[in-house]
Amino acid sequence: MEGTVYLKDVPIHLEGDPDFSQYSLEVLRREVPDMLLENCEEIYVCVTGTNSTCDQEYAKHDWSNAPTQDVGAFTVMASQKVYIFNNQPYGIFLTELSSGTFIHELMHLYDQRYSLSTQKEVFDLYRDYAEEISDYATSNCQEFLADAARKYFLAPKKLEKKSRPVYDYFQDLFHYYQ
Protein backbone atom coordinates (compact mmCIF):
# COMPACT_ATOMS: atom_id res chain seq x y z
CA MET A 1 0.00 0.00 0.00
CA GLU A 2 1.29 3.50 -0.84
CA GLY A 3 -0.18 6.98 -0.66
CA THR A 4 -2.17 8.41 2.23
CA VAL A 5 -4.58 6.52 4.47
CA TYR A 6 -6.31 7.76 7.61
CA LEU A 7 -6.14 6.53 11.16
CA LYS A 8 -9.35 8.07 12.41
CA ASP A 9 -8.75 11.71 11.29
CA VAL A 10 -4.95 11.57 11.22
CA PRO A 11 -3.30 11.07 7.82
CA ILE A 12 -0.70 8.33 7.54
CA HIS A 13 1.60 9.01 4.60
CA LEU A 14 3.07 5.79 3.24
CA GLU A 15 6.33 6.38 1.35
CA GLY A 16 8.60 3.93 -0.47
CA ASP A 17 6.06 1.09 -0.49
CA PRO A 18 6.30 0.08 3.18
CA ASP A 19 4.85 -3.22 4.32
CA PHE A 20 1.47 -1.77 5.29
CA SER A 21 -1.90 -3.32 4.49
CA GLN A 22 -5.57 -2.66 5.04
CA TYR A 23 -5.36 -5.21 7.84
CA SER A 24 -2.55 -3.19 9.49
CA LEU A 25 -4.76 -0.12 9.35
CA GLU A 26 -7.70 -1.97 10.90
CA VAL A 27 -5.51 -3.19 13.76
CA LEU A 28 -4.30 0.36 14.39
CA ARG A 29 -7.89 1.63 14.39
CA ARG A 30 -8.77 -0.89 17.09
CA GLU A 31 -5.66 -0.56 19.25
CA VAL A 32 -4.45 3.05 19.09
CA PRO A 33 -6.38 5.19 21.59
CA ASP A 34 -8.08 8.36 20.39
CA MET A 35 -6.60 10.47 23.20
CA LEU A 36 -3.09 9.86 21.87
CA LEU A 37 -4.10 10.75 18.32
CA GLU A 38 -5.52 14.12 19.40
CA ASN A 39 -1.99 15.57 19.57
CA CYS A 40 -0.89 14.26 16.20
CA GLU A 41 -1.19 16.08 12.87
CA GLU A 42 0.47 13.51 10.62
CA ILE A 43 2.20 10.14 10.65
CA TYR A 44 4.82 9.10 8.11
CA VAL A 45 5.64 5.44 7.51
CA CYS A 46 8.65 5.27 5.23
CA VAL A 47 11.16 2.85 3.82
CA THR A 48 14.62 4.02 4.78
CA GLY A 49 17.12 4.88 2.05
CA THR A 50 14.44 6.13 -0.34
CA ASN A 51 14.92 9.85 0.36
CA SER A 52 11.57 9.74 2.11
CA THR A 53 10.20 12.35 4.47
CA CYS A 54 11.43 10.17 7.35
CA ASP A 55 14.96 10.06 5.90
CA GLN A 56 14.98 13.82 5.38
CA GLU A 57 13.64 14.60 8.86
CA TYR A 58 16.05 12.15 10.47
CA ALA A 59 19.00 13.78 8.70
CA LYS A 60 18.09 17.23 10.07
CA HIS A 61 18.70 16.28 13.70
CA ASP A 62 21.59 15.39 15.96
CA TRP A 63 20.86 11.97 17.43
CA SER A 64 24.09 11.66 19.44
CA ASN A 65 22.19 11.89 22.74
CA ALA A 66 19.44 9.47 21.72
CA PRO A 67 19.06 6.33 23.86
CA THR A 68 19.88 4.26 20.77
CA GLN A 69 21.45 4.99 17.41
CA ASP A 70 19.27 2.25 15.88
CA VAL A 71 16.25 4.49 15.45
CA GLY A 72 13.17 2.83 14.03
CA ALA A 73 10.62 5.51 14.85
CA PHE A 74 10.86 9.01 16.22
CA THR A 75 9.11 12.20 17.12
CA VAL A 76 10.79 15.59 17.10
CA MET A 77 10.29 18.17 19.83
CA ALA A 78 7.85 20.90 18.83
CA SER A 79 6.51 18.66 16.07
CA GLN A 80 3.12 17.02 16.05
CA LYS A 81 4.30 14.37 13.64
CA VAL A 82 5.43 10.78 14.03
CA TYR A 83 8.02 9.19 11.73
CA ILE A 84 8.30 5.42 11.45
CA PHE A 85 10.85 3.54 9.36
CA ASN A 86 9.56 0.24 8.06
CA ASN A 87 10.62 -2.46 5.60
CA GLN A 88 14.21 -1.24 5.49
CA PRO A 89 16.30 -2.72 2.69
CA TYR A 90 19.52 -2.54 4.75
CA GLY A 91 18.07 -3.39 8.15
CA ILE A 92 19.66 -0.29 9.68
CA PHE A 93 16.49 1.22 11.12
CA LEU A 94 14.51 -1.94 11.67
CA THR A 95 11.27 -1.68 13.59
CA GLU A 96 8.26 -3.91 13.72
CA LEU A 97 5.35 -1.94 12.37
CA SER A 98 2.87 -2.47 15.14
CA SER A 99 0.32 -0.72 17.29
CA GLY A 100 2.97 -0.67 20.01
CA THR A 101 5.30 1.44 17.86
CA PHE A 102 2.51 3.90 17.11
CA ILE A 103 1.43 4.10 20.76
CA HIS A 104 5.02 4.57 21.93
CA GLU A 105 5.64 7.47 19.54
CA LEU A 106 2.23 9.05 20.10
CA MET A 107 2.89 8.98 23.84
CA HIS A 108 6.02 11.04 23.18
CA LEU A 109 3.77 13.66 21.57
CA TYR A 110 1.38 13.50 24.51
CA ASP A 111 4.30 13.90 26.91
CA GLN A 112 5.65 16.87 24.95
CA ARG A 113 2.27 18.58 25.02
CA TYR A 114 1.63 18.09 28.74
CA SER A 115 5.25 17.93 30.04
CA LEU A 116 4.54 14.73 31.94
CA SER A 117 8.14 13.55 32.09
CA THR A 118 9.13 16.71 33.98
CA GLN A 119 6.71 16.01 36.81
CA LYS A 120 8.06 14.63 40.10
CA GLU A 121 5.45 11.85 40.22
CA VAL A 122 6.55 10.54 36.82
CA PHE A 123 10.24 10.82 37.70
CA ASP A 124 9.61 8.84 40.90
CA LEU A 125 7.82 6.12 38.92
CA TYR A 126 10.68 6.07 36.41
CA ARG A 127 13.27 5.78 39.18
CA ASP A 128 11.39 3.03 41.00
CA TYR A 129 9.80 0.99 38.20
CA ALA A 130 11.57 1.50 34.87
CA GLU A 131 13.37 -1.85 35.11
CA GLU A 132 10.01 -3.58 35.48
CA ILE A 133 8.76 -2.02 32.25
CA SER A 134 11.65 -2.80 29.87
CA ASP A 135 15.38 -2.33 29.37
CA TYR A 136 14.62 0.52 26.99
CA ALA A 137 12.42 2.21 29.61
CA THR A 138 15.51 2.63 31.78
CA SER A 139 17.05 4.95 29.11
CA ASN A 140 15.33 8.08 30.42
CA CYS A 141 12.04 9.33 31.79
CA GLN A 142 10.58 10.03 28.33
CA GLU A 143 11.25 6.50 27.09
CA PHE A 144 9.88 5.11 30.35
CA LEU A 145 6.59 6.95 29.78
CA ALA A 146 6.34 5.86 26.14
CA ASP A 147 7.10 2.20 26.86
CA ALA A 148 4.85 2.11 29.91
CA ALA A 149 2.01 3.62 27.85
CA ARG A 150 2.49 0.91 25.23
CA LYS A 151 2.12 -1.73 27.92
CA TYR A 152 -0.83 0.06 29.54
CA PHE A 153 -2.83 0.16 26.31
CA LEU A 154 -1.83 -3.22 24.86
CA ALA A 155 -1.29 -5.43 27.92
CA PRO A 156 -3.03 -3.74 30.85
CA LYS A 157 -3.46 -6.84 32.99
CA LYS A 158 0.23 -7.70 32.69
CA LEU A 159 1.23 -4.15 33.59
CA GLU A 160 -1.20 -4.09 36.51
CA LYS A 161 0.25 -7.36 37.85
CA LYS A 162 3.89 -6.44 37.28
CA SER A 163 3.82 -2.78 38.27
CA ARG A 164 0.60 -1.67 39.92
CA PRO A 165 1.78 1.93 40.66
CA VAL A 166 2.59 2.50 36.97
CA TYR A 167 -0.73 1.00 35.92
CA ASP A 168 -2.53 3.22 38.44
CA TYR A 169 -0.74 6.32 37.13
CA PHE A 170 -1.92 5.66 33.57
CA GLN A 171 -5.41 4.71 34.73
CA ASP A 172 -5.64 8.04 36.61
CA LEU A 173 -4.30 9.86 33.56
CA PHE A 174 -6.45 8.25 30.87
CA HIS A 175 -9.32 6.41 32.63
CA TYR A 176 -9.14 3.98 29.72
CA TYR A 177 -10.30 0.80 31.46
CA GLN A 178 -13.45 0.49 33.56
Distance CA 2, CA 120 (A): 43
> What does the pLDDT look like over 101-143, one tens digit per residue?
999 999 999 999 999 999 999 999 999 999 999 999 999 999 9
pLDDT single digits (tens) 75-89? 887 789 999 887 554
Cα gap 8→121, rounded to integer Å: 32
- Domain regions of the chain by residue span: 3-114, 116-174
pTM of the model: 0.90
Helices (H), 32-174: 34-37, 53-59, 99-114, 120-133, 141-154, 156-162, 164-174
Does the pLDDT of residue 69 top 80, yes or no?
A: no
Q: Is it the case that residue 152 has pLDDT exceeding 60?
A: yes
